[in-house]
Amino acid sequence: MWQWLFKLSSPKWFYTISGQLMPWLIAITSILLVIGLVWGLAFTPPDYQMGENYRIAYIHVPAASIAMGCYYMMAGMAAAFLIWRIKMADMVAKACAPVGMTFTALALFTGSVWGIPTWGTWWIWDARLTSTLIMLFLFIGVMALRSAYDSEAAGAKACAVLSLVGVVNVPIIKYSVEWWNTLHQGASSLSLSNTSANPPEIWLPAFFVGFGLFGFYLIAIILRTRNEILIRERRTEWVDELLSTNFGNNISTNEGLG
C-alpha cells in the first residue's frame, strides 16, 4: 500500500499508468452514462407530484455529491502537499479546482431550473444553496489565487492553505438540510445515503448516472493532471523521450555530429 502510494507520487509512473487506464475508464464511463441517462430520461415513471420535471434530479444529485467529493479530494491533496511536499499531490489539486467548479455550477444550475416550477423560485438564500454557492466561490478563488502568483511554489502553498481552510464548508453543505430548516429537501432517494424512500426502478438509474459521472470526473482530473505533468517535467529526459518517440520528428538531435 505504502509502496503503491510512493509510486503514485512519481509523475512518470502516474503518467504511464493513467495512460494505460484511460481507454478502460472511458469505455466504462460511456456505458454507465448512456444506460443511466436513457433509463432516467425515458423509462422511469413520472413523479406523482413533480411530473416529468423530477428527471433533472438524475443529474443534479450526482453532480452535487461529486462536486463535494472533489472539494474533499482537493483538500486532501493540499494536505499531502503541505505535509509531505509531494509535488504530484499539488498537480492533482490544481486539476481539481476547475473540474470541481464546473460540477458545482452544474449542481446549482440544474437545481435552479428544477426549482422554478417546483418551488416557484430559482434561488433562495437557504443554508444548502448558500453553502453550495460558497463552494463555487472557493473553487474559483483557489484558481484565481494560483494564477496571481508568479512563483509556482508560492502559489501552490497558498492554494493548499485556502483549500484546507475552505474544507469546513463541505460538511456544512451536507448537513445543512438537517441542521437548519431549509427549503431544500433532505437527502433524496437518489443519493447513496437514502434508498428506502423509493422503489429501485426510480433510484437505480441515478446510480448508473452517479457512477458514470464519477468516472467522467476521474477522466477530467486525469486529463488535466497529465497536462500538468508534461508541462512541469518538460525538461526531464523521460518527457523528452516520450515526445520524440510519439510525436516528434527529431530524427536525431545529434544529426551531423557523427
Partner 1 sequence: MGRFDSFSDFLAMGGYASYVWSAYAFFVVILVFNIWQPVLARKKFLKQQLRREQVQRERMQARQKQEGRINDNAS
Query: Which residues of this chain interact with partner 1, rule CB under 8 A?
Result: 41-46, 51-53, 55-56, 59-60, 63, 98-99, 102-103, 105-106, 109-110, 113-114, 116-117, 216, 219-220, 223-224, 226-227, 230-231, 234, 243-244, 247-250, 253, 255-257
Q: Which is nearer to partner 1, 145 or 223 (CB)?
A: 223
Q: Which is nearer to partner 1, 62 or 166 (CB)?
A: 62
28 contacts 189 by C-beta, under 8 angstroms: no
Task: Tell me how far, at minimum, the Cβ of 110 lies from partner 1, in Å.
Answer: 4
- Nine-digit cell at 128? 444548502
* Residue 191 phi, psi (nearest 5): -95, 160
Q: Which is nearer to partner 1, 156 or 213 (CB)?
A: 213
Q: Which is nearer to partner 1, 30 or 171 (CB)?
A: 30
Task: Tell me how far, at minimum, the Cβ of 98 lies from partner 1, in Å.
Answer: 8
Question: What whole-number distance in Å separates Cα of residue 107 and Cα of residue 24?
Answer: 27
Question: What whole-number distance in Å separates Cα of residue 122 and Cα of residue 136?
Answer: 17
Task: Tell me how far, at minimum, the Cβ of 183 lies from partner 1, in Å.
Answer: 17
Give the distance, in angstroms, between the CA of residue 98 and the centroid of all CA atoms in the same chain.
Answer: 8
Question: What whole-number distance in Å separates Cα of residue 100 and Cα of residue 163?
Answer: 12
Question: What whole-number distance in Å separates Cα of residue 218 and Cα of residue 134?
Answer: 23
Q: Which is nearer to partner 1, 39 or 79 (CB)?
A: 39
Task: Tell me how far, at minimum, the Cβ of 85 lies from partner 1, in Å.
Answer: 25
Task: Tell me how far, at minimum, the Cβ of 117 lies from partner 1, in Å.
Answer: 6
Give the distance, in angstroms, between the CA of residue 166 and the centroid of all CA atoms in the same chain.
Answer: 16
DSSP β-bridge partners for residue 47: 51
Task: Tell me how far, at minimum, the Cβ of 175 lies from partner 1, in Å.
Answer: 26
Q: Which is nearer to partner 1, 134 or 230 (CB)?
A: 230
Closest CA to 65 of 182, 202, 187, 181: 187
- Nine-digit cell at 123? 434561488
